[in-house]
A and B are shown apart, each in its own frame.
Chain A
Amino acid sequence: MSTEKSTARKIFEWHEQRLPIVSFIDHAVGSQYPAPRNLNYFWNFGSLAGFMLVTMILTGVFLAMNYTPHESMAFDSVERIMRDVNYGWLIRYMHFNGASFFFIAVYIHIFRGLYYGSYKAPREVLWWIGILILLAMMATAFLGYVLPWGQMSFSGATVITNLFSAIPVVGNTIVTLLWGGFAVANPTLNRFFSLHYLLPFVIVGLVFLHIWALHIPGSNNPLGIELTAKDKIPFHPYYTVKDAFGVGVFLLFYFGIVFYAPNLLGDVTNYMKANPLTTPPNVVPEWYFLPYYAILRSIPNKLLGVIAMFGSLLILFVVPWLDTSRIRSAVFRPVYKAFFWVFVVDCLVLGYCGSQHPEGLPLILSRVGTAWYFLHFLILMPVIGWLETPKPLPASISEPVLNPAE
């Protein structure tokens, strides 16, 4: 064994002493981060969300090189990207569908957190930052949807900015400020482009805080129990490889849509140029906003509808205290587990209702669904925590395997 260091090693160490960036990464997502040995595939979606964030920023930067944020040119510049710019169609379809796949990854990531109790002590701040990321993502997605300046872009911008007019007294002043005029128009488009470019980098900053907050207690795991050193394995190579495999599978679905059904998740109405004189017959947002839209429309009072819609998101901040059970994982909570799945179905029903005209059965369903949504958090979560008898927890991950007799 030679004690002589190679030149490359010496240069590396010289650099690490001055800026220990490689050690930093190694501690964050490398061999120095001990991760639970029993993480299942639901733990892939955090890194998948990160992958989609990078994809969105990259494709977005290249789209911006050919996009013109002006009310009379925006629509045509997007069509030019689709028809004339080399691989413009690919970059735009990746960006357009990337938003959907980013939300798919993040929603599964959030439901995983709800199922395995990842929001509970000591991970409350980690959970909060995750909600902030979701809110920033929603704002970014909304702003980006306006940029092609199609009919649905225009109506979406009008409806969403008008939500703020529900605020008593200052509502209309705020809306005029948001528009930069008396209706959604060129000044609105310009600022939306500016903010759409800014917010993803805010998300990057939040992701750093999210990972930082993750590393204080370490990752939660499917059993939700505190782990000993024996129950942990290095993140690299074990989970870097598993995450890379997950990316591969995810890409199959993502590019399946990009190549074979690129407009499946969009609304054809947005291929008509914005016209302030008409509103499309059925104004609906993209699929990832439908449940909130259903909540908004389920309440026949404007201000209360807006409060309920924002409340449905803000309520997530207090979930760590609404859930009174000390057991993290739903694996050991039979009652909570059942209601968790009811809640998932409730969100899907709300999503369906959001896509329909608010009358007849969809309206009734969206009212029941909205009521259940808040009931789940405000009543069921605390009550189940008090009344439920959880199953016995194992002492460690390896114990049932290594000492099955005990």
Chain B
Amino acid sequence: MANTAPAHTAHADGADGETRRDFLLNTTVAAGAVGGALMVWPLIHSMNPAADTLSMSTTEVNTSGIAEGMGITFLWRGKPVFARHRTKAEIEEARKVPMGELKDPQKDEARVQKGHEELLVLVGVCTHLGCVPLGQKVTEPRGEFGGYFCPCHGSMYDTSGRIRKGPAPTNLEVPPYTFLSDTTVRVG
């Protein structure tokens, strides 16, 4: 406060050329600018997901029909989700990979739920540029690591959905999901 007191005196004197009128002009322009800028937010936010889009945020699926080695694909929030019933060999392969070899190190145990290690649930969207990787069907190419192969730019994922080769920066995302019963999974 001690510093502002001389400034006030200066204003009153008009010694630095500032007047009451300048002050009013600057504050008016500033208030107008801030008000205008605030109005931009409703416009931008209107482009974000609307309430009805957000409300479609869970999907339930029955996993009892997935035979070992097979997978099903379903939509959750407009994105494909892979649920794959992994074979013993695939699980073993995913677990014996040394962490040092992984681009985005994560243990297989952290990507599946305890007691349901055979069921791998992934968002089926390549983390590079969003293509849907191949590999859900046994007839599709699965890349060098037996998991998924993205045909767009050649990213390869292993049997835990972790990125192993290619331009994708991170592992395939594991969506939040819970087991409602032994055979029903709710994603979201």
Taking beta carbons and an 8 Å cutoff, which residues of A are in contact with B? 155, 158-159, 161-163, 165, 176-185, 187, 191, 276-279, 281-283, 297, 299-303, 305, 357-359
Contacts and interface: CB of A to CB of B under 8 A. Distances in A.
23 contacts: A155-B131, A158-B130, A158-B131, A159-B131, A176-B48, A177-B48, A178-B47, A179-B49, A180-B49, A180-B50, A183-B77, A183-B125, A191-B47, A276-B132, A277-B73, A277-B80, A277-B132, A279-B131, A279-B152, A300-B167, A301-B167, A302-B168, A358-B154
A283 B47 contact: no
Given A283-B152, A305-B167, A182 B77 contact: yes
Interface string B127-159: 011111000000000000000000111100000
Nearest to B131: A279
Nearest to A178: B47
Nearest to A179: B49
A303 B128 CA distance: 10
Contact of B132 (A176, A178, A278, A282): A278
B129 A162 contact: yes
B48 to A, nearest CB: 5
B14 interface: no
B25 interface: no
B11 to A, nearest CB: 42
B49 to A, nearest CB: 5
Contacts of B80: 276-277
A182 B75 CA distance: 11
Give the 4 A-B residue pairs with the shortest CB-CB distance, closest first. A183-B78, A162-B130, A182-B77, A158-B130
Given A180-B49, A180-B53, 17 more contacts: A158-B129, A158-B130, A163-B129, A179-B49, A181-B53, A183-B79, A185-B78, A187-B47, A187-B50, A187-B53, A277-B75, A279-B152, A281-B151, A283-B131, A302-B128, A357-B154, A359-B154
B187 to A, nearest CB: 12
B105 interface: no
A177 B47 contact: yes
Interface in B25-52: 44, 47-50
Contacts of B75: 276-277
Contacts of B176: none
Q: Is the interface of B mostly helix, strand, loop or mixed?
A: loop
B71 to A, nearest CB: 12
A347 B24 CA distance: 57
Given A181-B77, A297-B153, A305-B167, A187 B130 contact: no
Contacts, number: 85
Interface residues on B, range: 20 to 34
Interface of B: 44, 47-50, 53, 73, 75, 77-80, 125, 128-132, 151-154, 166-169
A28 B146 CA distance: 65
B47 A180 contact: yes
A32 B74 CA distance: 66
A278 B132 CA distance: 6
B47 A159 contact: no
Contacts of A182: 49, 53, 77-79
A222 to B, nearest CB: 43
Contacts of A277: 73, 75, 80, 132
A309 B38 CA distance: 33
Contacts of B50: 180, 187
A158 B127 CA distance: 11
A191 B53 CA distance: 15
B80 to A, nearest CB: 5
B135 to A, nearest CB: 12
A377 to B, nearest CB: 24
Nearest to B77: A182
Contacts of B169: 301-303
A217 to B, nearest CB: 36
A180 B167 contact: no
B18 to A, nearest CB: 36
A299 B153 CA distance: 11
A297 B129 CA distance: 11
A181 B47 CA distance: 9
Contacts of B44: 177
Contacts of A179: 49
A299 B128 CA distance: 12
Nearest to A297: B153
A180 B47 CA distance: 5
A49 to B, nearest CB: 30
B16 to A, nearest CB: 38
Contact of B130 (A159, A303, A357, A358): A159
Q: Which of A155, A161, A179, A279 has the most CB of B within 10 A?
A: A279
